[in-house]
Amino acid sequence: MNPLVGEPAGLRYGTSAAAPSPAPARNSSQAESSGPSHPLLLLAALLSLLTLLRVIALAFNATDLFVDEAQYWAWSNELAAGYYSKPPLVAWILAGAREVCGESEFCVRLPSPLIHAATSVIIFLIGRRLYSPEAGFWSALAFATLPGISLSSGIISTDVSLLFSWALALLALIELMRAPRLLPALVLGLALGLGLNAKYAMAYFIPSAAIFFLIAPEKAALLRRPHPWIAVALGLALIAPNIAWNAANAFATFAHTADNTGWAGSLFHPGKAAEFFLAQFGVFGPILFGALLVIAWRARTSLAAFTIEDRLLLAFSVPLILVVTCQAFLSHAFANWAAPAYVAATVLVTGTMIRDRAWSWLKGSLALHLVVAIAIPIAASQAGSFKVPGAGDPFARTLGNRELAGAVRKAVADGKAGGRPFATIIADERETVAALLYYAPELAPSVRAWRRAERPRDHFELTRSFTPSDAGPALLVTRQASPAAILEAFGAARPLGAREIDAGRFTTRTIHLFALSEYRAR
- Residue 496, C-beta contacts closer than 8 angstroms, at least 6 positions apart: 411, 415, 475, 513, 514, 515
Beta bridge partners of 449: 427, 465
CA–CA dist 204, 4 (Å, integer): 29
Least confident of 21-35, 132-146, 147-161: 21-35
- Can you tell me the mean pLDDT for 342-353? 98
Q: 19 or 471, which is more confident?
A: 471
- Can you tell me the mean pLDDT for 308-322? 97
Q: How confident is the model at residue 40 (pLDDT cuts 50, 70, 90)?
A: confident
Q: Is the pLDDT at 24 greater than 50, yes or no? A: no
pLDDT digits over 99-136, tens only? 999 999 999 999 999 999 999 999 999 999 999 999 99
- Residue 69, C-beta contacts closer than 8 angstroms, at least 6 positions apart: 108, 109, 155, 156, 157
pLDDT digits over 54-103, tens only? 999 999 999 999 999 999 999 999 999 999 999 999 999 999 999 999 99
pLDDT digits over 169-209, tens only? 999 999 999 999 999 999 999 999 999 999 999 999 999 99
pLDDT of residue 12: 35
CA–CA dist 57, 40 (Å, integer): 25
pLDDT of residue 8: 34
pTM here? Answer: 0.92
Distances 433 to 407, 426, 508 between C-alpha atoms, Å? 14, 8, 19
**Run of H or E residues at 119:** helix 111-130
Q: Are 477 and 429 in contact (CB under 8 A)?
A: no
Distances 132 to 33, 156, 219, 317, 354 between C-alpha atoms, Å? 12, 33, 21, 20, 10
pLDDT of residue 420: 77
